[in-house]
Amino acid sequence: MKGKERIEKFLELQEKNIEFEDISKEIGIASKTLRSFLNRNGYKLENNKYKIKESNEIKQIEFKNIKEQKKESKNGNTKNTKEKNKIKSQKNNNPKLEISIKEKNKKKLTPKKDKKINMTVEDMDKLCEVYDWYMQVKDYKSMKPKKISSKKDINIENKDMTNLKNTSIRVDKTTWENFERLCSNSQFSKQEILTQALRDFMNEHKYLL
């Protein structure tokens, strides 16, 4: 019994709910050999029944599709060959037709000539001016120093902190914690930042001064 016939026989007996051991005896091979044979052919035991895996089903469908495509391609090539032979026989019977086909092919193969651009002396002068200007400014950007990108910091107008005034104030706890966090992320001291903050506030409300 061939492989395909063996699988068909096994599936037929399995559908009749016959025990696996009895099926192997009916087919004429050992149960262990039958299991290995089914596994090799993509069958997997699910709910006490051997079923083909999805991937193998897809492969079988793809294989069938490829065979059909090859068959169609073969039929198509045969048709094209017949058409070519028909045209060839027409050429032999009609020499004028052959000449006209050759002329058509020749026209297709002939490359198109590039169109010439008519330029006046004035146009050439303008192009020369543009080129001279480009040569003067092309390296202008490269001469500029590159800015080193860094994190933005606070803008302190006056860093002179020699004349200081000691004072005690009460501030909202959350506001002060945020202020301390801000100072820790800055390169300036708390005195410098607080002084600048007061200066900005007074500039904004200088009508009260």
In a domain, 97, yes or no: yes
| Residue-level pLDDT at 29 | 84
In a domain, 172, yes or no: no
Question: Same domain, yes or no, for 48 and 64?
Answer: no
What share of the chain has pLDDT > 90, as a percent? 2
Question: Same domain, yes or no, for 25 and 9?
Answer: yes
In a domain, 8, yes or no: yes
pLDDT digits (tens, 9 = 90+) for 112-153: 666 667 778 788 888 888 888 887 777 665 555 555 545 577
Q: How far apart are CA 191 and CA 175, in angstroms?
A: 16
Question: Same domain, yes or no, for 12 and 42?
Answer: yes
| Residue-level pLDDT at 158 | 78
Provide the phi-psi class of 115: left if phi over 0, else alpha when psi is between -120 and 50, else beta: beta
Is residue 100 within a helix (H) or strand (E), and if so which, with residue range?
Answer: helix 95-109
| Residue-level pLDDT at 149 | 44
Mean pLDDT of 1-6: 76
pLDDT digits (tens, 9 = 90+) for 22-77: 888 888 888 888 888 888 888 888 887 888 775 555 556 665 666 677 666 666 55
In a domain, 150, yes or no: no
pLDDT at 172 over 90: yes
Q: Tell me what the pLDDT averaged over the chain comes to.
A: 76
In a domain, 125, yes or no: no
Question: Same domain, yes or no, for 95 and 63?
Answer: yes
Q: Would you give the distance in Å from CA 82 to the centre of its chain? A: 44
In a domain, 80, yes or no: yes
> Which residues form the domain of 38?
3-52
| Residue-level pLDDT at 173 | 92
Question: Same domain, yes or no, for 7 and 46?
Answer: yes
Question: Same domain, yes or no, for 40 and 76?
Answer: no
Question: Same domain, yes or no, for 22 and 48?
Answer: yes
In a domain, 41, yes or no: yes
Q: How far apart are CA 70 and CA 64, in angstroms?
A: 10
Work out how many domains the chain is built from and give that number. Answer: 2
Most confident among 4-8, 50-54, 107-111, 179-183 (mean pLDDT): 179-183
| Residue-level pLDDT at 174 | 92
What share of the chain has pLDDT > 70, as a percent? 63
Question: Same domain, yes or no, for 82 and 98?
Answer: yes
More confident residue, 166 or 111: 166
Question: Same domain, yes or no, for 99 and 62?
Answer: yes
In a domain, 195, yes or no: no
